[in-house]
Amino acid sequence: MIEMNIKEIEKLRNEMEKYRPLDADQLRVLNKDIRIEHIWSSNAIEGSKIDKYETEAIIDKGITIHGESIGDVLSTIDLNEAYDYMLDLASHKQPLTQTAIRDLNRLALAKTHPEWGGEYRTLEVHPAKTDFNPYSEPFDIRPEMDELIEWSKTAQKELHPVKYAADLHYKFVTIHPFRDGNGRTARLLMSLALTESGYPVVNIMPDKESRKKYMEVLLESQKENDPTKFEDLVGDYTKHTLEKRIKILQLNEKNKKEAEKDTNLNKQNHLKR
């Protein structure tokens, strides 16, 4: 299934390249919306009650939302800083390191749990509402993170970027190395892998049905010790994101052509005025 997804994804990406890019102002607005959606959705998956529009108000205008949890507000500010760092890492296209992963987690917890940021846990943790525990034992975390970094050096070169991004998320969150912020860090790592390969960020939606599917597919993949189903989920999100981007570019192309034709002004006469 993932191979079929990859073929469709490549076809969509090639189609996307046919259109003129958005101008700088349009791209700024689009990138801002993607950022807001990532921060809102990633925090909402973890239980934040702040909605997308409140997230924008906090990040864009520094407005504190009346009645909302201080912790949720601080988590929004933290994840915005971590998202900035993810984009900076992507722009340099360097091999993944444990330091970079620690720093992503450290920024994601900077104001909520600064004392925990970047620190590997020393106690066992267990996912809620299941008897199955996929997470690594504390004494296994460091060697398994070493293995993750070694795997990434080869996988990043050999795997398709979407498959690599899904596997990186899956492997990291299964180790679950940190005391808090593992899910947010995993989704940042997935976004990093996609962005540095020229793919759009994909955001897992936090509505009840989408969140449930995300959690169930991830847990099922962990039980089977096979990331294929999770790869398919990420592939579906990537296809949807590319399709949405293509529609935006198509509309942009149509609007530009209409604007060029729909005028009573003669270029030469206009310039003389």
Catalytic residues: 176
133 has binding-site annotation: no
Which three-class secondary structure state does DSSP give residue 81? helix
180 has binding-site annotation: yes
- For the chain, what's the residue count? 273
35 has binding-site annotation: no
181 has binding-site annotation: yes
245 has binding-site annotation: no
> In Å, what is the CA distance from 214 to each residue of 34, 187, 251?
19, 12, 31
Cβ distance 76 to 58 under 8 Å? yes
211 has binding-site annotation: no
Could you please report the per-residue DSSP string of 207-222? Answer: SHHHHHHHHHHHHHHH
Q: Residue 64 region, left (φ>0) first, then alpha (ψ -120 to 50), else beta?
A: beta
Q: How far apart are CA 188 and CA 104, in angstroms?
A: 8
Half-sphere exposure of 220 (CA within 13 A, CB side): 12
269 has binding-site annotation: no
* Partners of residue 120 on adjacent β-strands: 178
- Please report which helix (H) or strand (E) contains residue 175, including its range: helix 161-175
Here the contacts of 13-20 (C-beta below 8 Å, separation 24 or greater) are 13/199, 13/242, 15/246, 16/242, 16/245, 16/246, 16/249, 19/246, 19/249, 19/250, 19/252, 19/253, 20/249, 20/252, 20/253, 20/256
186 has binding-site annotation: yes
DSSP symbol at 135: S
Neighbours of 203 (CB within 10 A): 21
Which amino acid, residue 218? L
Please state the residue numbers annotated as binding site.
Answer: 180-187
Residues annotated within a binding site for ATP: 180-187
